[in-house]
Amino acid sequence: MVGHEQGGRRPNLVVSMLTEYGPGSEELAIAITIPLITKRRNYWTVVPMDREGGLREESYALCHNIRPVSTKRFEGIIGEVSQRALTRVRLVLGDILHIT
């Protein structure tokens, strides 16, 4: 762990999946994820998640902590986010990455 990273298991919001097969190679299965936390942070890059999708606790997406993760590390699906929350995440990601 480096800097502000935390160890252990953490729920993540999957914002993109890349799965490809190439000749003579194994499957490339990478997901672009955003970690979720339960403690509110007052940064413009932190987006509140709606609990209606199955999250047990009030959660917040750390959009400034975008990371690729092998899908082999996934342990399962714990819920879904609302379209409203996903739209907010996409808007923040667009601002962070300067995508209009």
**Tens of pLDDT along 48-80?**
998 877 788 889 999 999 999 988 888 888 888
Domains in the chain, CATH or no CATH each: 12-96 (2.30.30.110)
Q: Kindly report, residue by residue over 3-32, the tens digit of the pLDDT.
A: 455 566 789 999 988 776 666 556 678 899
CB-CB contact of 60 with 49 (8 Å) = yes
| Radius of gyration of the CA atoms of the chain, in A | 14
Claim: this prediction has a pTM higher than 0.85: no
CA neighbor of 59 nearest in space, from 69, 67, 49: 49
Give the number of residues written for the chain: 100
3-state secondary structure (DSSP) of residue 37: strand
